[in-house]
Amino acid sequence: MTISIEKSVFGTSKNGKEVVLLSLSNENGTLIEILSYGATIRKWIVKDGNGQMRDIVLGYDTFTDYENDKFFLGCVVGRVGNRINGGKFKLDGKEHQLSVNRPPHHLHGGGANALCRKVWDWELVENGVKFSCVSPNGEEGYPGELHIAVTYTLNDQDELTIDYQAKTDAPTIVNLTNHSYFNLENEGSENFKDHVFQFFTDKYLPADDDHLVTGEVCDVRGTRWDFTQAKRIGDICESNFAFDNQMCFDTSTFTGSEMKKLARITSPKSGISLTIASNQVGAQFYTGDRISADAPTVGKGGKTYAQCGGFALEPQACPDAINKPNFPSNVLRPDELYHHISRYSIARN
C-alpha cells in the first residue's frame, strides 16, 4: 500500500490555534484533504470512468468560509448529530437542556462549542490521520466529559474508512457522523438529478414539517423513499429534491454488531459510483435544498453552489433516539466504548 500524507497550514482560529490540512493520496491518484477544524473533509478527488480527475465533495476555499459555514460542509457533527426535540432529554431521571441552535431545537451538537467548531488535535497513523478532542462536562449542555477520536484511513482500493470512538466519565448520549455533501459529477455541478440511488434498507423514519422524527418506523414500499431498486432520482422528483429523512434497517432487530451496506449511488455521466457501509442503524439522506436558499453559497473556486447541488448521506443512530424509547438507544455509559465505523468505496463503471 502506498498512501502518502502531506501537511500544510490552512489558517488560524480566533483563539490562535493553527488549523492544518492533511492530504491523503494513493497510487490511483485519489486525493482526500481533511482539516483539523471540525475534522472536516474539504476535498475528495477521484478518477472518473474516463480517467479524468473530479472533486466529488462540496467545500470552501478559506478558513473564514468554514468559520461562517451554516451547512456543516464535510465536518464531523456531534456530540449528537441530527435534531433533538426542544434540545431537551431526560437521562437516569435527570432532565438536561441543550443549546438551541436551530430554534426551537438542538441540531448537530449545538453552537460555538460543537465538535464541528473545534480545532482538533491530530496525529499521523498508518495510511491515515487520527483526530482527537475532549468535550468538557456541560459543553452545549451535555453531561459527562467526552473523549473523542476520529480516524480517517485510505487504501489503494479507493476506500476511505472513518472510525469514530468515544469514552465518557458520566452517562451521556452520543451520535457522531460525517456531514460531507457529494456530487459524483463534480462539486459545483447544477444538481444530481441523473444520479442513480439504491438503498439496501427497507425502512425510513417519517418527520414532521420541523424535520423532527415522529417516532414511527415505516416501510419504504409504495412511497417516494423506496430506493430498494436502483432509480434515477430525477425520475422520482424532477422538481422536488427535498429529502431529509433517515433511511434505516429494522430498528427492532438492529444490534450494531456488523458492517452492513447502506447505499450505492452512481453517476452515469461521470462513471463514478459510491458505496457506503456502516455498523449504524441507518443514514440520514439530505438533498441540500437549504444550500443557497436564502443567499448564494459560494464554494471552492468561487463557484456558487446550487440548491440540491449535493447530497449528504450520514450514517448514524436514529435521530432524537433519547426521546423515542422504541428506537435503539444512543446512551453511552462510563464502562462502554462508543464505536462507529463507516466505509466509503469508490468504483468506476
User: Looking at the whole model, is its pTM more than 0.85?
Assistant: yes
> Is 314 an annotated catalytic residue?
yes
What's the pLDDT score for residue 41? 98
166 in any annotated domain: yes
Give the number of other Cβ atoms within 10 Å of residue 138's Cβ: 12
Catalytic residue among 105, 106, 108, 179: 179
What's the pLDDT score for residue 2? 82
% of the chain with per-residue pLDDT over 70: 98
Amino acid in the structure at residue 74: G
221 in any annotated domain: no
What's the pLDDT score for residue 234? 87
Residue 240 has pLDDT above 70, yes or no: no
Cβ within 8 Å of residue 303, ≥6 positions away: 187, 188
> Is 179 an annotated catalytic residue?
yes
Give per-residue pLDDT as tens, 120-142: 999 999 999 999 999 999 999 99
Binding site residue list:
82-83, 179-181, 250
Residue 102 has pLDDT above 70, yes or no: yes
Residue 241 has pLDDT above 70, yes or no: no
Give per-residue pLDDT as tens, 104-125: 999 999 999 999 999 999 999 9
Amino acid in the structure at residue 207: A
What's the pLDDT score for residue 239? 58
Amino acid in the structure at residue 277: A
What range does the domain containing 75 cover?
Answer: 4-191+284-348
Binding site residue list for beta-D-galactose:
82-83, 179-181, 250
Query: What average pLDDT does the structure give for the chain?
Result: 95
> Cβ distance 304 to 292 under 8 Å?
yes
Q: Which residue has the cell 434540545?
A: 87
pLDDT top residue among 238 and 180: 180
123 in any annotated domain: yes
Which of 59, 56, 96 has the alpha carbon at shortest distance from 74?
A: 59
What's the pLDDT score for residue 111? 92
Give per-residue pLDDT as tens, 191-200: 899 999 999 9
268 in any annotated domain: no
Residue 342 has pLDDT above 90, yes or no: yes
Q: What is the CATH number of the domain that holds 128?
A: 2.70.98.10
Q: Is 202 left (phi over 0), alpha (psi -120 to 50) or beta?
A: alpha
217 in any annotated domain: no
11 in any annotated domain: yes
> Cβ distance 33 to 21 under 8 Å?
yes
243 in any annotated domain: no
Give per-residue pLDDT as tens, 198-214: 999 999 999 999 999 99
Residue 286 has pLDDT above 70, yes or no: yes
What's the pLDDT score for residue 122? 98
Residues 293, 308: Cα–Cα separation, whole Å: 10
Residues 68, 11: Cα–Cα separation, whole Å: 14
256 in any annotated domain: no
Q: Which residue has the cell 453511552?
A: 332
pLDDT band for position 237 (cuts 50, 70, 90): low
pLDDT top residue among 133 and 239: 133
Catalytic residue among 108, 139, 314, 340: 314
pLDDT band for position 238 (cuts 50, 70, 90): low
For residues 39-46, give the mean pLDDT.
Answer: 98
How many domains are there within the chain?
A: 1
% of the chain with per-residue pLDDT over 90: 91
What's the pLDDT score for residue 264? 98
What's the pLDDT score for residue 165? 98
